[in-house]
Structure 1
Amino acid sequence: MRVIIITSWGHKFCIEVSLKEPVVEIKRKIEQILGAPVASQILVVSGWELLDGLDMEDYPIITEGTNIHLTIKWMGPPLNSYHSSKIQITIKFSARQLHVEVERSETVRSLKEKLQIMDGTPIKRMSLFFSGIELHEDFRNLSEYGIREFSEIIVFLKGMSRVRDELPVRRLSVVVQTSSSLLNAAMIPLEMKDSSTVNDLRQLLLSSKTLPIDEYLFIHKQRIMRDNCSLRWHGVDDGDLLYVFKGAVCRSGY
């Protein structure tokens, strides 16, 4: 059955669980998706905390579509990766500037998409710089580059000749790791172009009947991967491990 995990900072995502599945296994899935250690997670349904030593069938209240609320109890200093408060930053073009509100956890790519909507500049022409350093890894969070409240980001526009000079396509050897409740935690080696999208990866696994027909969530380095973005965009490198779980991102929660 599919349940909905609702985080204390307002995000939602769906995961597939079975009645015999222990609570601690659900927490391990969440750890793969969010990076939150199992020991720091508190799962609650209708005011009842789910205990690690019990299975899903021990909680008859949990059925298809049940909302499970997730709270993170910090084991140390607060981590920026879970801090989703909004900040104001300044975007400087050569002849104008914009004031933009973003999430600390927002990616460089997401910021570029916002700027394209606001300013009309094609994403391929943008080079973003902060404190003299180019924000060249689209999948990185703004906070990973040290961007905070009132930071100034400078936008340089590439010439059209540079836009046409695309990076060469590389072939990657990756391993898809399933969850314990899916194919008994199988490890599936694959070769794909780094320009292939996550949806291409999904279709390859489905068309070859490696995975049964269902909805799946792919994770790379504790980040949920976007269907229409390439492996290169996600920073996938040769030999990397990709995790797959039954489930789907609940868009209404973002």
Structure 2
Amino acid sequence: MTMRVMIATSEGEFLIEVDHKETILEVKQKIEQLLGVPAAFQTLSVYGLELIDGLDMEDYPIVFEGTKIDLTISPPTESDTMIQITVKTSSKKIHMMVDKTETVRSLKEKIHIIDGIPIKRLMLYFSGIEMGDEYRSLSEYNICDQSEIIGFLKTTNRSTTEPASKRLSVLVQTSSCLLNSASIPLEMKDTTTINELRKILLDGKVLPADDYFFIHKQRIMRDSFNLRWHGVENGDSLYVFKGTVSRGY
């Protein structure tokens, strides 16, 4: 399904047609054809949330017909180190722009945002060699433009018992665009599901009766999964938006 969205820059606004199935990177490439600005120098955001290259337009239910998407352009420099890579996991092939000076840990965090793979269980391989040192840069593993990286999920010992639940202090942030802007401190167990979190907020009349979805580190949170599964840590912020999410979230 196609829709038209408004791209807003510091110099003006223009409409482009996009498809719900298009990736954010593909949208950037359309803008590159129109403006001549390389995708590597573009940052797209909606309501302050950066749109991640490896995700699709439909991964952002806050994007609808006529929505304004902010475009920030970083001017190219002679020392620019942005490259395009492909990451293959068991569930999908991800195309993304990265800085080759960033660390393996940073790349794993981006893959977690896009594919939901727990960072601690993710192993990355390039040319048959494991990228085992999370604090080495991608360039130190000879990652260059158009490189393909393979991601595997570490198997867990079935005899290992599930760790005991722990209490987390989190900050729930409501959108100034869709709700009255507010910061709500909460303390709950890391085994609390998103459905349970929603019920806590509705029962306490913190939120009016309506449909909501939550975002953590720029990834939509799944209703039936708990905070631990989403990688939420003590002191993290969760963002709540009005609306519903399809595709099994």
TM-score by length of structure 2 reads 0.51
Q: Distance in 2 between matches of 1:197 and 1:5?
A: 35
Aligned residue in 1 for 2:20? 10
**Is the contact between residue 47 and residue 177 of structure 2 (CA under 8 Å) also seen in structure 1?**
no
**Is the contact between residue 128 and residue 153 of structure 1 (CA under 8 Å) also seen in structure 2?**
yes
1:170 Cα deviation from its structure 2 partner: 1.0
1:194 Cα deviation from its structure 2 partner: 0.8
Q: Distance in 2 between matches of 1:244 and 1:174?
A: 13
CA shift in 2, pair 1:32/1:229, >3 Å: farther
Larger gyration radius, structure 1 or structure 2 = 1
Aligned residue in 2 for 1:221? 217
TM-score by length of structure 1 reads 0.50
Q: State the one-letter code of the partner of 1:199.
A: N
**Is the contact between residue 128 and residue 135 of structure 1 (CA under 8 Å) also seen in structure 2?**
no
Residues 1:30 and 2:46 are matched in the alignment: yes
Give the share of equivalent positions with the same residue, in percent: 37
Q: State the one-letter code of the partner of 2:198.
A: R
Aligned residue in 2 for 1:129? 123
**Is the contact between residue 176 and residue 241 of structure 1 (CA under 8 Å) also seen in structure 2?**
yes
CA shift in 2, pair 1:184/1:90, >3 Å: closer
1:88 Cα deviation from its structure 2 partner: 6.9
**Is the contact between residue 128 and residue 134 of structure 1 (CA under 8 Å) also seen in structure 2?**
no
Q: State the one-letter code of the partner of 1:152.
A: I
1:10 Cα deviation from its structure 2 partner: 3.3
Stretches of structure 2 that go unaligned for 5 or more consecutive residues are: 6-16, 23-44, 53-62, 97-109, 135-142
Q: State the one-letter code of the partner of 2:50.
A: L
Counterpart of 2:150 (choices 126, 149, 152) is 152
1:197 Cα deviation from its structure 2 partner: 1.5
After TM superposition, the structure 1 = structure 2 runs for residues 87-236 of structure 1, keeping only pairs within 5 Å, are: 87=86, 89=88, 101-104=92-95, 107-108=111-112, 127-131=121-125, 132=130, 149-154=147-152, 156-162=154-160, 165-180=161-176, 184-236=180-232
CA shift in 2, pair 1:247/1:134, >3 Å: farther
**Is the contact between residue 87 and residue 150 of structure 2 (CA under 8 Å) also seen in structure 1?**
no
Please, what is the CA RMSD of the aligned residues?
Answer: 4.8
Larger fraction in helix: 1
**Is the contact between residue 46 and residue 70 of structure 2 (CA under 8 Å) also seen in structure 1?**
no
- The CA deviation string for residues 103-132 of structure 1, in whole angstroms up to 9 with x for no partner, is 24684598688xxxxxxxxx9xx9442244
Q: Distance in 2 between matches of 1:103 and 1:166?
A: 31
